[in-house]
């Protein structure tokens, strides 16, 4: 039997998952879980690079517009301008881009879409904005651990990175 929470396989006689403690479902959902083609590390890496290129354009454009306003005066004023305008835009830009795109009907950022990938829940369902937000901010933890959280996608059974596990998500070929 397969767990509805983590997708793990359990003996037929159990009612609760031995891995996560959630209720398990009958074998009838096994084909739905096993039919996913999980996106491996390298596909996800290339999608990430595409997204980085796209996300890098916006701050550059904002800088070109705002910089002349601040670089006419003292250097301290220019630094203040960067902290007041550029940094918050860059921080919010990444979160909103990933959370809105991955929770949209596309279920993917532009980089993932270009490579035919989707972000789903464990049962293949579309994730919510809240789940996408948790997934995005969990990437901080994946990065803080010497990027091992990202590298986990190369070695886990469902090709999940640490932030995918935290948010109960999958990245699949779709």
> Do residues 84 and 166 both lie within one domain?
yes
> Do residues 54 and 107 both lie within one domain?
yes
pTM across the whole model: 0.72
Half-sphere exposure of 16 (CA within 13 A, CB side): 3
**Pair 11, 1: CB distance under 8 Å:** yes
Which residues form the domain of 14?
2-34
Lowest pLDDT segment from 46-55, 85-94, 122-131? 85-94
> Do residues 23 and 70 both lie within one domain?
no
> Do residues 53 and 75 both lie within one domain?
yes
> What are the pLDDT digits (tens) for 57-98?
877 777 777 666 666 666 666 677 667 777 787 789 899 999
The pLDDT of residue 126: 96
> Do residues 117 and 78 both lie within one domain?
yes
Residues 6+ away with beta carbon under 8 Å from 162 = 138, 141, 142, 145, 148, 149, 150, 152
> Do residues 169 and 154 both lie within one domain?
yes
> Do residues 156 and 95 both lie within one domain?
yes
> Do residues 75 and 119 both lie within one domain?
yes
Confidence of residue 4 (pLDDT cuts 50, 70, 90): low
> Do residues 70 and 148 both lie within one domain?
yes
Centre a 10 Å sphere on the Cβ of residue 99 and count the other Cβ atoms it contains: 21
> Do residues 27 and 57 both lie within one domain?
no
């Amino acid at each position: 039997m397969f767990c509805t929470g983590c997708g793990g396989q359990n003996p037929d006689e159990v009612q609760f998952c031995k891995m996560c403690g959630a209720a398990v479902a009958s074998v009838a959902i096994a084909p739905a879980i096993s039919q996913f083609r999980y996106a491996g590390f390298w596909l996800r890496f290339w999608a990430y690079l595409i997204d980085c290129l796209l996300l890098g354009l916006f701050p550059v454009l904002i800088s070109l517009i705002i910089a002349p306003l601040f670089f006419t005066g003292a250097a301290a004023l220019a630094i203040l301008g960067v902290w007041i305008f550029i940094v918050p835009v860059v921080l919010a830009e990444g979160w909103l881009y990933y959370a809105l795109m991955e929770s949209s009907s596309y279920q993917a950022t532009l980089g993932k879409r270009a490579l035919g990938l989707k972000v789903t829940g464990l049962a293949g369902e579309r994730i919510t904005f809240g789940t996408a937000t948790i997934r995005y901010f969990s990437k901080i933890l994946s990065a803080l651990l010497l990027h091992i959280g990202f590298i986990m996608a190369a070695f886990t059974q469902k090709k999940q990175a640490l932030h995918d596990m935290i948010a109960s998500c999958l990245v699949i070929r779709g």
